[in-house]
Homo-oligomer: A and B are copies of this chain.
Amino acid sequence: MNKSRLEAFSDGVLAIIITIMVLDIKVPGQSDWDGLMHLLPTLTSYVLSFALVGVYWNNHHHLLNSLKKISSNIMWSNLNLLFWLSLIPFGTKWMGETHFNKFTLILYAILLVICGLSYSLLQNQIVISLKGTKSDLPAIIKKQNFKVLISGAAALLAIPAAYVDTKISLALFATSSIIWIIPSKAIENELSKKDKNDTDTKETRAI
């Protein structure tokens, strides 16, 4: 019912997920260049996951922005998404410690696919809750869907790719977060248009 607490709780969980990963970076045996080089897989794994969780936070933020009423379904879909995202620090640690072993890489890819599906599930619940409210936001979500799809496809492709070369999988993981850094002008234009509409409406009312 209270949207702000759902946001606060999600922000808290996401902030913890993104930050506790650093606790799993172990101090290497040597304190020199070699020691740092030895940390490279762990650090790469961390950067990757930080970017991915950052993207999820950003999108989650946009998604909930459009929300007006919180139903039980949305509450549980959100908790489901947070659960899968909470496993990312573990996946990151395992992948990093084994220097991107094929098996752990596939597990991580599967985890990302499940996170993507959980995100889509939450999105669906929000679209349903917006039905009949004459909101134009589902259109924006549809545009964001394009990126969600590419992101999910990249994670899915990373599974067979791991059998060829784990580096391809890593490149696909990187892709699935980098595409989000490119601002989807569509969303912002749409939102600023809506803001303008709101202002227009208010001005009209004022008149």
Contact = CB atoms under 8 A, between A and B. Distances in A.
Contacts of A167: none
Interface string A1-35: 11001111101111111111011110100011101
Nearest to A14: B9
B7 A90 contact: no
Residues of A in contact with B, size category: 35 or more
B7 A7 contact: no
A17 B87 CA distance: 14
Interface stretch (A93-101, A114-122, A123-131, A155-163): A93-101
Contact of A20 (B23, B33, B50, B65): B23
A31 B87 contact: no
Contacts of A2: 61, 65
Given A22-B87, A94-B27, A1 B73 contact: no
A50 B1 contact: no
A3 to B, nearest CB: 11
Interface stretch (A75-83, A141-149, A196-204): A75-83
A71 interface: yes
A33 B2 CA distance: 43
Given A27-B93, A101-B31, A19 B20 contact: yes
Given A27-B97, A31-B94, A90-B25, A20 B20 contact: yes
A207 interface: no
A61 B97 CA distance: 36
A36 B107 contact: yes
Given A31-B103, A31-B104, 18 more contacts: A1-B191, A2-B65, A5-B7, A8-B11, A9-B14, A12-B16, A15-B16, A16-B16, A18-B82, A22-B86, A22-B87, A27-B93, A27-B98, A31-B98, A35-B103, A36-B107, A50-B83, A71-B183
